[in-house]
Chain A
């Protein structure tokens, strides 16, 4: 699986294609109760929907 997280030549990619950067895991929440309430142990995936856009 080619690792293409941050690619400078993003403009060389074909248009109309979806690109999902690869998740880089570093730390997880220590407070498991908070992780449980937020629905994820990964801070980078903690994106509560605010009715307009993700935070």
Chain B
């Protein structure tokens, strides 16, 4: 698995963790320990997405800051093999 694919996979795994924690926090809105875990992994995911975006292409529009070329538009489309 190439580095790009590996990073994409890892971002997906961290996103899964965030979703699972969110589902728990929705029913336990005062659980500080769970919130700590969520904040921790949320920061990690943001960092990984920023890194991926600089190295390859933006995954979300808030990462699509560009100057020479419009990076969001240049990114491979999902149905063109953009994210296997």
Contact = CB atoms under 8 A, between A and B. Distances in A.
A32 interface: yes
Interface stretch (B27-35, B54-62, B64-72, B75-83): B27-35
Given A25-B31, A25-B33, A25-B34, A35 B24 contact: no
Interface residues of A, number: 11
Interface residues of B, number: 14
A41 B28 contact: no
B28 A42 contact: no
A11 interface: no
Interface in A2-55: 23, 25-26, 28, 32-33, 35-36, 40-42
